[in-house]
Structure 1
Amino acid sequence: MASPAQTQVPTTPARARIGARTLRTDRWWLSPLLTSVGLGVFVVYATVRSFMRSGYWAAEEHYLTPFYSPCLSTSCVPGSSHFGTPLGELPGFIPLAFLSLPFLLGFRLTCYYYRKAYYRSVWMSPPACAVAEPHGKYTGETRLPLIVQNAHRYFFYAALIITIVNTYDAIVAFQGGFGLGNVILLVNVVLLWCYTVSCHSCRHVTGGRLKHFSKNPVRYRIWTQVSKLNTRHMQFAWITLASLMLTDLYVWLVSTGTIADLRFVN
């Protein structure tokens, strides 16, 4: 029988003491930099446009930008309120789409991909493999504010409703005929659906907690398709940021008369 000394697990050697922050010689900082710039551009653009209160509704073409949908206040310009105006006048410091924007922001902020993106780029936790992070400790998503990340599944349900609203807006736009703006709105909605349903929470809703896929063939089929989209969730996350800005910019330019909408059918 082996003695206690013989069975004792040997201690692990201490980590090497490296004075440099990293020994990497490649441009490891490029990816977090580009991510920070990309996210920053969208945040600045979306924030400015959400508070402008102009250029969000092209009356003749029936184009409504997603940044102002749904517009439920009497502060909204005539025609832009597809669901009526149950709310009164809103002060200028409140966005006209204040009922949807917080949930969309919460959905994006708590998204599993976006967490990785801004954890590494903005918070530098960690900025890259084999690169020391500047933080002295890490408590995980167990305390405020990061504990809110656990509410992602609930933000998903809200985002699903808002995507339906955006789809309705794109359909209503065809009342003004058929132009390039309709194509842009429709493509944006399709991409938003791809991003929303490729979410990890949607994958869990469709196939989570099933013990036997064979007994739930419909849910298994849906789960399979969602899983395929889930592999492209990162791409959809970035593409939809670009499509949202492009859609809003186009509606802005058309509604202000800066450019004329290319019409196919009047």
Structure 2
Amino acid sequence: METTVTPPDGATPARARIQIPQRTLRTDRWWLGPLLTTLGLATFVVYATLRVLQQDHYWVQEHHYLTPFYSPCLAAQCAPDAALFGRLPVEFPPLIPYALVSLPFLLLFRLTCYYYRKAYYRSIWQAPTACAVREPHRSYTGETRPLMLPQNAHRYFFYVALAITVINTWDMLVPFFHGTDGGFGIGLGNVIMVVNVLMLWGYTLSCHSCRHIMGGRLRSFGRHPVRYRLWTGVSRLNDRHMYFGWASIATLIATDAYVALMASGVISDLRFFN
């Protein structure tokens, strides 16, 4: 809504925004979405932080289950069979994650993700909280501040996340060949890890950067039919990027919790075969 401001004699009337004292005139539950988003993100951050710093109950030797939060396990304290790339010759100090190399890049990959940026900009930073709701900030600076500049490096974090997803896939395949008697076997842990890896691949491949890599710089799709098909497939996944983002968070927690409960002796793996 606009109103006309009376100018001095001879000047052109100026238009200014009407000042509404209320934060919003909306009567629906516009705050519910941002609230749930904040609770969801906070739950994942708190849970993941506590588990990473716990430095225990991350590996089930009997079936070779390794939680994604500790992969790849690089510290000298890691169980020998849990260290896919071997162990560094030094023990990590307390509170240093065993997966020191992968975790920062995975965090940055999600932190700079286009969807998650929208999620925490709206729910936590409140810029804006919702449509037709006044922001608490007096000015808009975009992503020009020093702490916001790494957002543009999302495409580079994608390459590292892609490599880590391949490692997670290997971690998922290994337990199939460590059944109860040492041969091929399938348990509930295998099923949970398969679902988790599928969600991780869905989230990674549906990334906007992946879509851009497939066909973002092509001037003619007709001259690149293979990349066009890849771009089309990734574009379909991209429509579900938000759902893969939340599903992968849920399956990461479920996988880690299942491995932790088994490693601590609280539960045993439900075996379907061998």
TM-score range, shorter chain: over 0.9
Whole-Å separation in 1 of the counterparts to 2:21 and 2:75: 59
Aligned alpha-carbon RMSD (Å)? 1.1
**Aligned pairs (5 A) from 1:71-220:** 71-177=73-179, 178-220=186-228
Q: CA deviation at 1:83?
A: 1.5
- Alignment partner for residue 259 of structure 2, among 240, 245, 251? 251
Q: Work out the CA distance in 1 between the residues paired with 2:79 and 2:64.
A: 12
Give runs of ≥4 in structure 1 deviating > 6 Å: none
Among 240, 244, 269, the residue aligned to 1:236: 244
CA contact (8 A) 1:72 1:87 kept: no
CA–CA distance in 1 between the matches of 2:252 and 2:29? Answer: 30
Deviations 1:147-183 (A, max 9, x none): 1100000010010000000001001111212211011
Return the offset for 1:78: 3.0
Which of 22, 25, 35 pairs up with 2:27? 25
Q: Distance in 2 between matches of 1:67 and 1:26?
A: 39
| Aligned AA (1:196) | T
Deviation at 1:87, TM superposition (A): 4.4
- Rounded Cα–Cα distance in structure 1 between residues aligned with 2:201 and 2:172: 13
Secondary structure in 2 matching 1:79: helix
TM-score, structure 1 length as denominator? 0.94
State the 1:79 CA deviation.
1.6
Label 1:242 to 1:15 Cα distance change in 2 as closer, same or farther (>3 A). Answer: same
* Alignment deviations for residues 79-128 of structure 1 (CA, whole Å, 9 cap, x no partner): 21122113421001200011100000000000000000000000111111
Distance in 2 (CA, whole Å) between partners of 1:61 and 1:95 is: 23
State the secondary structure of the residue aligned to 2:150: helix
Distance, in Å, in 2 between the alignment partners of 1:52 and 1:65 is 13
Cα contact 2:73–2:84 (8 A) shared by 1: yes
The offset of 1:255, in angstroms, is 1.2
Letter in 1 for 2:259: V
Query: What is the rounded CA distance, in whole Å, between the counterparts of 2:157 and 2:131 in structure 1?
Result: 30
The answer (yes or no) to whether the contact 1:181–1:250 under 8 Å persists in 2 is yes
Matched residue count:
257
Q: Tell me, in whole angstroms, the C-alpha distance in 2 between the residues paired with 1:208 and 1:32.
A: 31
Identify which range, 116-125 or 137-146, moves more after superposition. Answer: 137-146
Paired position in structure 2 for 1:264: 272
Contact kept in structure 1, 2:80 and 2:86, CA below 8 Å: no
Identify the residue that residue 44 of structure 2 maps to in structure 1: 42
Q: Give, in angstroms, the shift of residue 66 of structure 1.
A: 0.1
Partner amino acid, structure 1, of 2:258: Y
Give 1:74 deviation, angstroms: 1.0
Structure 2: distance between partners of 1:252 and 1:93: 18
Q: Structure 2: how far apart are the matches of 1:14 and 1:196?
A: 45
Percentage of pairs with the same residue? 62
Give the aligned residue type for 1:254: M
Query: Where does residue 8 of structure 2 map in the other structure?
Result: none
